[in-house]
Amino acid sequence: MAVQRTGMSVRGSLIVTGLVMGLGILTAACQEAETQKTGTTGTTSTTTVENPKQLKLGSLLPSTGDLASLGGPMIASVPLLVDTVNQCGGVNGQPVTLVASDDQTDATTGTEAVTRLVNVEKVAGVVGSFASGVSMAAAAITSRNKVMMISPGSTSPELTKKSKEFNGYWARTAPSDAYQAPAMAKLAYDKGYRKIATIVINNDYGRGFEQEFIKAFKSLGGTVINEAKPTRYDPKATTLKTEAAEVFGSKPDAVAAIMYVESGSLLLKSAYEQGLSQNIPVLLPDGMYSDDLAKKVGQTKDGKYIAAGVLGTIPGADGTALATFTKIWEAQLKRPVGAYAAHSWDAAALLVLAAQASGKNTGEGIQSKLKAVANGPGETVTDVCEGLKLLKAGKPINYQGASGNVDLDGNGDVIGSYDIWTVKEDGTIGKLGNVKSK
């Protein structure tokens, strides 16, 4: 079956059909992510007659924009799961079809993309988004149309507050910042920092994290010195000189910078260039985690990385299925597992397992059985194909994921642990351990 690539606008989508087996589907997905990162876009499609009985899924993830550097592993995981499922027989006797869209880390673009997934592509479930603001806007559309949406990376606590409005058509496999922010607060306090200044990206992610961090840090006995006058910046800002001077100039023990990679690197560079950050430690969240963070921030005149020594937190992956997932990932993609890859695998896995459990390839079917396959009771399974086999035989399961146990509460939330990461002297990312919020 021929695969063709043609030019299109950045609001286009990559169509990947579940009828394509083997490595081809993975190569296409990875090529798309890499292509869009360089500022160009394309579409990969196959000519096939769609079977209305098939399970059709969509993904809404960033291959461009402020979170593009984190989007790559997520984008690669979803077709990897679909390909694995199709090789073991598909769902409800049919192959799974995947339609992937780039949300550009932008709520407006994400809204347009998810509207197309729902109204034109007629998907039953969506893996996405990553940016919390994009998920907030998209979930309103998917839930209204009874399409199940599972995010592998949106962490804003505001999504928990809004979950009732989504009528059970929303869940996430990454824990809320209601857990990550206290974990970072504990890390800061354990390091001996007592006076913290915060700077946050002015969106759902930044404000939600900030609120939870302040509450947690104060409960430990610390002080957030700019609590009354928080430093926030526009997500589309192209310079952060004023904000850097404001937050670092307050002479805190450390700065908690709740930001995304592209804009956050501007802050770190600007603070250094103004001579403000040399003796002030910086704490970063998952939104700043990127293999090329050090390169984006830059180097000193003597060739040292400006970002060296920063500390951060990020949801870890410690599920019982992690070894199985890692083996599949490394065999197919020939590289180490990236951040949020396991969470993306689990999000897609829950969609296909719930569809099989319900016997219906619809959003309503998935929603009706999502918690049954995630929480049990039933036979514990870590292998998606084994789970599908048991469900086809009419046996209940309790899926234990690669990211964690993926037990969903009434708001569609999970609880997780957090890795502590740093930028080493050579500019690479290193893991220092882990921290739990509670």
**What does the pLDDT look like over 326-341, one tens digit per residue?**
999 999 999 999 999 9
Helix (H, G, I), strand (E, B) or coil at 123: coil
Kindly list the structural domains of the chain, giving each domain's residue range(s) and its CATH number in brackets, ordered by start. Answer: 4-175+319-399 (3.40.50.2300), 178-317+417-435 (3.40.50.2300)
Question: Any residues with CB less than 8 A from the CB of 279 and at least 6 apart, and which?
Answer: none
**Residue 122 burial by CB count (10 A; 0-12/13-18/19+): exposed, middle or buried?**
middle
How much is the average pLDDT of 358-369? 98
Does pLDDT of 374 surpass 70? Answer: yes
User: If you average pLDDT over every residue of the chain, what do you get?
Assistant: 88
Confidence (pLDDT) at 404: 93
**What's the average model confidence in pLDDT over 252-257?**
98
Lowest mean pLDDT among 67-71, 224-228, 399-403: 67-71
The mean per-residue pLDDT over the stretch 17-30 comes to 38
Average of pLDDT values for 7-21? 36
User: pLDDT exceeding 90 applies to what percent of the chain?
Assistant: 82
Cα–Cα dist 143/28, whole Å: 30
> Lowest mean pLDDT: which of 109-113, 150-154, 314-318, 381-385?
314-318
* pLDDT computed for residue 12 by the predictor: 40
The set of residues, in sequence order, having a beta carbon less than 8 Å from that of 318 and lying 6+ positions away, is 403, 404, 417
pLDDT of residue 51: 56
More confidently predicted of 8 and 431: 431
- Distance in angstroms (rounded) separating the CA atoms of residues 139 and 147: 9
pLDDT recorded at residue 416: 79
Predicted confidence (pLDDT) at residue 11 exceeds the cutoff of 90: no
CA dist 356 → 57, 375, 410 (Å): 13, 16, 22
- Tens digit of each residue's pLDDT (9 = 90 or more) over 24-61: 433 333 333 333 333 333 333 222 334 558 999 999 99
**pLDDT for the residue numbered 31:** 36
pTM beyond cutoff 0.85: no
For the CA atoms of 177, 152, 76, 68, the dihedral, rounded to the nearest 10 degrees, stands at -40
Q: What is the pLDDT of residue 40?
A: 30
List the beta bridge partners of residue 98.
16, 57
Report whether 25 contacts 64 (CB < 8 A). Answer: no
Identify the pLDDT of residue 427.
96
Please answer whether residues 312 and 412 qualify as being in contact, where contact means their C-beta atoms are separated by less than 8 angstroms: no
Residue 208 has pLDDT above 80, yes or no: yes
- Give the mean pLDDT of 317-327: 93
Q: How confident is the model at residue 152 (pLDDT cuts 50, 70, 90)?
A: very high
Average pLDDT over residues 1-27: 35
